[in-house]
Structure 1
């Protein structure tokens, strides 16, 4: 019998077991918080937010696997991509299910709210897209769909953008985390573009360029959000990127996160390389 924690050889995989454990940790925390009244006076509403946040987080992490695998040359990373993607789908479905619970299982009201509220419609479209990616993630479906599978799964990046937009619209004034996520998504898109343009995405100059582009892009996204969607002066937010007196802005976190692979690529020759090559057709 095939278990989700086994590799293709049927043996337990440490990295897959670790990924499955990480997948369940937020759910256990939410359940424990609900039981102990930590979620506040509106626990269902807070649980809706928490599950939605974790859906986006896991989705972004799943998109990180391919470039990270290419940069580190650690081929076994691909084993957890499917697990992380399906985890994102599971949290998104739980997010939507809790919303139905919050609406007292009134499905007509749920449908009306989704149709009338643009941020809910965006979230629902994202959910449908995740379902499409999830149900086509089996080995049999991949073989059956062929090139069409690749075309379908290229929607992952637009879906991530829609999910982050939904997060922005839910967060209102405090958009620190969605801005951070938007910056990281920009970095992932930059990695993909660099690969299409035949840049070596494991090279230090490429990685530094991606980090700088993603950081500046994060600044622009944050500025645009405050200029379009709030009454807070966007210039004040823009200048806050040059000050560290209160908090570190998302653009700096994006820059630091994206420079980690560059640092790894720079020191890797100093610590040795076992010369293993990645098989691009290796199992998920």
Structure 2
């Protein structure tokens, strides 16, 4: 709470502390960075695609709702990508990836704000009605709380805030984990019975949390990473089971059993395990490419 108050009511920065504006495609020294430019373009691409579909009448009979859904999907996807930056930078020994984390985090915030803005527009800008709906509907409340958390993290993401908050900055930005859990829950509530991608997201989020819980010395070891694959698959399967058991009248036990049946293809929980299996493979390939044992 103290950290949030310091973020909301900061003291004035001393003269000369403000940094000059830097474009997204510039590095710390304000030189053009191809990596940052490509990342920025990729961040813009989903919104541009949804805009093109809207302009070409490709969003179906309810374009606002479909566009709102698509932007919401990309918000949770980008949140996962942002959370994956640190593990990938460590596992692949590519510290330069860590420099993209802030851009990706702010991109996630931008999509979350766009998601809210489209919802407001779909409700004809009736702000009192929208406020009442957010308070009344549980899935909207969860989504809005998560958005407020993202705003707080985005506001305090600059170099100046890192210096101002000191050690508390890292503690404050650990809020990204409860925010991610809220976002995943919001995704489940919105998906209802069409849970394929929501379960996949849940399994990948389990992997990211499990990686954080590993001892620091194990986080780049292929065998430790290999052990996380079944954790991701089982975590996704159990979350799917819990959802069907608690939120629906469908036979949750049979759905859990179906996760082990690959006759008709892999279910999303198993796909989370497959994605997790790719991580130690990438780690081994990266070590060989770098000439490490």
Do these two structures clear the TM 0.5 threshold for a shared fold by scoring above it?
Answer: yes
Is the Cα–Cα contact under 8 Å of residues 69 and 78 in structure 1 kept in the other structure? yes
Q: 1:20-64: per-residue Cα shift (whole Å, max 9, x none)?
A: 011011011100111111111110011111111111111110010
- Residue 203 of structure 2: aligned partner: 183
Q: Does 1:21 align with 2:41?
A: yes
Select 1:140's aligned residue among 144, 160, 166: 160
- Residue 38 of structure 1: aligned partner: 58
| Offset, 1:18 | 1.1
Select 1:105's aligned residue among 125, 142, 147: 125
- Residue 162 of structure 1: aligned partner: 182
Secondary structure at the counterpart of residue 177 of structure 1: helix
Q: Does 1:224 align with 2:233?
A: no
Secondary structure at the counterpart of residue 105 of structure 2: helix
The structure-2 alpha-carbon separation of the partners of 1:59 and 1:80, relative to structure 1 and needing over 3 Å to count, comes to: same
| Offset, 1:274 | 7.9
The 1-side partners of 2:210 and 2:146 are apart by 22
Q: Does 1:203 align with 2:236?
A: no
Structure 2: state its 5+ residue gaps.
Answer: 1-20
Q: TM-score, normalised by structure 1?
A: 0.93
Q: What CA RMSD, in Å, does the superposition of the two structures yield over aligned residues?
A: 1.5
- Residue 81 of structure 2: aligned partner: 61
Q: Does 1:214 align with 2:232?
A: yes
Secondary structure at the counterpart of residue 167 of structure 1: helix
- Residue 261 of structure 2: aligned partner: 243
The structure-2 alpha-carbon separation of the partners of 1:111 and 1:269, relative to structure 1 and needing over 3 Å to count, comes to: closer
Is the Cα–Cα contact under 8 Å of residues 15 and 79 in structure 1 kept in the other structure? no
Select 1:256's aligned residue among 271, 274, 292: 274
Select 1:85's aligned residue among 82, 105, 115: 105
Select 1:74's aligned residue among 78, 94, 98: 94
The 1-side partners of 2:288 and 2:85 are apart by 24
Secondary structure at the counterpart of residue 248 of structure 1: coil
The 2-side partners of 1:175 and 1:25 are apart by 25
- Residue 10 of structure 1: aligned partner: 30
| Offset, 1:150 | 0.7
Q: TM-score, normalised by structure 2?
A: 0.90
The 2-side partners of 1:263 and 1:93 are apart by 36
- Residue 278 of structure 1: aligned partner: none
